Amino acid sequence: MITQNIDQLHARAGTRELVEVHGTIAHSSCLRCGARYPLPEVRARQADDDRRVPRCDCGEALKPDVVLFGEYLPVDALARAEDLAAGADLMLCIGSSLEVHPVAQLPLITLAAGGKLAILTRGLTPLDGKATVRMGGDIVQDIDALLHALALTATVVTS
Ligand SMILES: [Zn+2]
């Protein structure tokens, strides 16, 4: 599972292998010394601060370990995502406009390696014409229908 989500929902749903290419709110890091704190600790530090800014032991603010606009994606996560994309027989692109690079390149890697795409999202994407399957309705119903069509045994967890 490659996700642009940062909200931990995939992890909480039990996803075994998760590549969070935009990082996660599960932890925050110090902008000065790089110390990392888990979310419950960050929340406690935020509550204890007069200005509600979670702070490191060194006094600097903590930043969630998520990719903000203009920042680079984590190199290791992106490399793993590219490996998975290159090895996929079928990539399910779910709920993405496929417009934000470099993540939007991943389906092209799958296509170049001979894999196929299924795009399940509302609205147009630049790769609609390259998809073997294209669905744009209710995401839960579409996933269910696709899984049945693929004769996969899977449990879809929604929140
Ligand atoms: Zn620090």
17 lies in some domain: no
**Would residue 105 count as lying in a domain?**
yes
Q: What's the gap in Å between 19 CA and the centre of ligand 1?
A: 26
Alpha helices in 6-117 (DSSP H): 9-12, 39-48, 75-87, 106-112
pLDDT at 158: 46
Q: Is the residue at 11 inside a domain?
A: no
Determine the Cα–Cα distance for residues 142 and 115; give it in Å rounded to an integer: 20
The CATH number of residue 130's host domain is: 3.40.50.1220
- Look at residue 159 in the predicted model and tell me its pLDDT: 39
Flag whether 45 is in a domain. Answer: yes
**What's the CA-to-centroid distance between 32 and ligand 1, angstroms?**
5
Reported pTM = 0.78
Domain that holds residue 111: 89-150
pLDDT string in tens for the chain (159-residue length): 999 889 888 888 999 899 999 999 999 999 999 999 999 999 999 999 999 999 999 999 999 999 988 888 888 999 999 999 999 999 999 999 999 888 899 999 999 999 999 999 999 999 999 999 999 999 999 988 888 888 765 455 443
Same domain membership, residue 143 and residue 96:
yes
Residue 28 CB-density burial (10 A; 0-12 exposed, 13-18 middle, 19+ buried)? buried
Active site residues: 22
Q: Are residues 100 and 52 in the same domain?
A: no
**Distance separating alpha carbons of residues 25 and 38, to the nearest angstrom:** 9
Asked which of 35, 66, 97 is the last residue of a domain, the reply is 66
- Is the domain of 62 the same as that of 103? no
Per-residue model confidence (pLDDT) at position 152: 60
Distance CA 142, CA 131 (A): 15
User: Domains in the chain: how many in total?
Assistant: 2
DSSP-derived 3-state class of residue 130: helix
> How far is ligand 1, taken at its centre, from the CA of residue 62, in Å?
8
* 111 falls within a domain: yes
60 domain-assigned: yes
Per-residue tokens: 4:
């642009």
Q: Does 5 map to a domain?
A: no
CA atoms within 13 A on the CB side of 75: 0
| Cα(1)–Cα(70) distance, integer angstroms | 24
The reply to whether 96 and 44 lie within a common domain is: no
Both 95 and 141 in one domain: the answer is yes
Question: pLDDT value at position 146?
Answer: 86
Q: Could you tell me the distance, in angstroms and rounded to a whole number, from the CA of residue 124 to the centre of ligand 1?
A: 44
CA 55 – ligand 1 centroid, Å: 8
The answer to whether the CB of 91 falls within 8 A of the CB of 118 is yes
In a domain, 29, yes or no: yes
Question: Do 60 and 98 reside in the same domain of the chain?
Answer: no
The bridge status of strand 19-20 relative to strand 2-3 is parallel
